[in-house]
Amino acid sequence: MVKGKLNRRKFLTTTTIGAAGATIAAPALAQGTPSIEWRMVSSFPKSLDTIFGTADVFAKSLAAMTDGRFQVRVFAPTEIVPGLSAADAVSNGSVEACHTASYYYWGKDPTFAFGTAVPFGLNYRMQNAWMYEGGGIDLMNAFYARFNIFGLPGGNTGTQMGGWYSKEINKPEDWHGLKIRIGGLAGAVMSRIGAVPQQIAGGDIYPALEKGTIDAAEWVGPYDDEKLGFSKVAKYYYYPGWWEGQAMLSFFFNLEKWNGLPKSYQAAIKAAAALANTSMMARYDIENPKALERLAIGGAEPRPFSEAVLDACFNASNEVFAEIAAKNADFKKVYEAMKAVRGPDYLWFQLAEATYDTYMMIQQRKGLV
């Protein structure tokens, strides 16, 4: 009996201490998950609900994952800095984060292009495979660290259209002298084939096309292009966008701020970014078909680039890549890693994916699906 009482007394004492310990530990837990407010600048206008909205998806998801303790406020271009200066603002610590396309900064170093797209590169699924399972995120972040940036995939457009043109592009020579708004490394390829590339922020493309400052402009695809009104000032809508077999956007974070976060918050950011990355592509796949139909009914003329045009662009792209890789070790390293994914994946996609898709496309043309 006495032994039993002692045991019960020990149990009660231990339980009381444990309860007290839980009470003491609560403030420590709160200290481990501090309240944080960050600013994220977007490179994209609010009118593009798919792209600008992806930053909102990220911010809302992050807040939900952290019980509201980690808040990110998203700012449109020019509210803090111009859209094409977003990465600079993150790098120098003016803001903590941005949502942008890494290839906007290829002029600093062409290696930036691989974080979005390079001509005749990967498609959407291949890019995701490379980033998440093929070491792409770590490889790019080893490069971004030189600019005090940590980056994560932040959405994708999938294969883009080839843009809007005021004249037909039937042969390679038709590029000569053509002033075209185009982003990233594709500008260097355009120069090689005789075009005159212009890097213009999304919100400024329409007036440039309308005034004739440029002869052509590429942006994304039917849904966004419709919103920006390009069909009103250019007739021919070419495809595919060979310079963007996919176009991955990025969430950039100031590296020092990132390193200072609790591990739980870093994990939450990665999860929120992955969700945003998936949801953006899904939305485009829902909205683009409907928008393309509306554009065609409205008078736009979708046209494929000829094989001769694509061949000339493919050859020019390989020449540009080889020249850059010969003098830029970072570019060469990432380029070789990308190619290591591209070759085997296109071999695999020819079997199941392409065969199935081709058959189903035939049924679609018959009106059976």
Domains in the chain, number: 2
Please state, in angstroms and rounded to a whole number, the distance separating the CA atoms of residues 74 and 41: 6
pLDDT tens figures, 212-268? 999 999 999 999 999 999 999 999 999 999 999 999 999 999 999 999 999 999 999
CATH of the domain at 100: 3.40.190.170
Same structural domain for residues 238 and 259?
no
**Would you say residue 362 lies in a domain?**
no
Same domain, 168 and 64: no
The stretch 115-134 carries a mean pLDDT of 98
Q: Which residues form the domain of 216?
A: 163-243+296-336
Q: What is the pLDDT of residue 361?
A: 97
Let me know whether 280 and 300 are in one domain: no
Give the DSSP per-residue string, 245-276.
SS-EEEEEEEHHHHHTS-HHHHHHHHHHHHHH
Give pTM, 2 decimals.
0.89
Residues 6+ apart with CB under 8 A from 308: 171, 172
Taking residues 292-302, what's their average pLDDT? 97
Q: Report the chain's mean pLDDT, rounded to a whole number.
A: 92
Q: Decide if 98 is inside a domain.
A: yes
263-297 and 124-133 helices, crossing angle to 10°: 180
Residue 188 resides in a domain: yes
Same domain, 237 and 252: no
288-298 average pLDDT score:
97
Same domain, residue pair 303 and 227: yes
Q: What is the CATH number of the domain that holds 182?
A: 3.40.190.10
H or E segment to which residue 73 belongs: strand 70-75
Burial class (CB in 10 A: 0-12, 13-18, 19+), 363: exposed
For residue 301, the model assigns a pLDDT of 97
* Same domain assignment for residues 324 and 216: yes
Confidence of residue 26 (pLDDT cuts 50, 70, 90): very low
Same domain? 119 vs 267 = yes
pLDDT at position 32, please?
59
Residue 174 domain-assigned (yes or no)? yes
Q: Does residue 38 have a pLDDT over 50?
A: yes
Whether residue 202 is found in the same domain as residue 122: no
Q: Which residue has the higher pLDDT, 245 or 29?
A: 245
Q: State whether 273 and 130 are in the same domain.
A: yes
Give me the percent of the chain exceeding a pLDDT of 90: 88
Q: With 90 as the cut, is the pLDDT of residue 164 above it?
A: yes
Verify that 199 and 144 share a domain, yes or no.
no
Whole-angstrom Cα distance, residue 330 to residue 85? 22
What band does 184 get if pLDDT is binned at 50, 70 and 90?
A: confident
Lowest pLDDT segment from 7-16, 145-154, 259-268: 7-16
Structure confidence at residue 31 (pLDDT): 55
Asked if 115 and 192 sit in the same domain, the reply is no
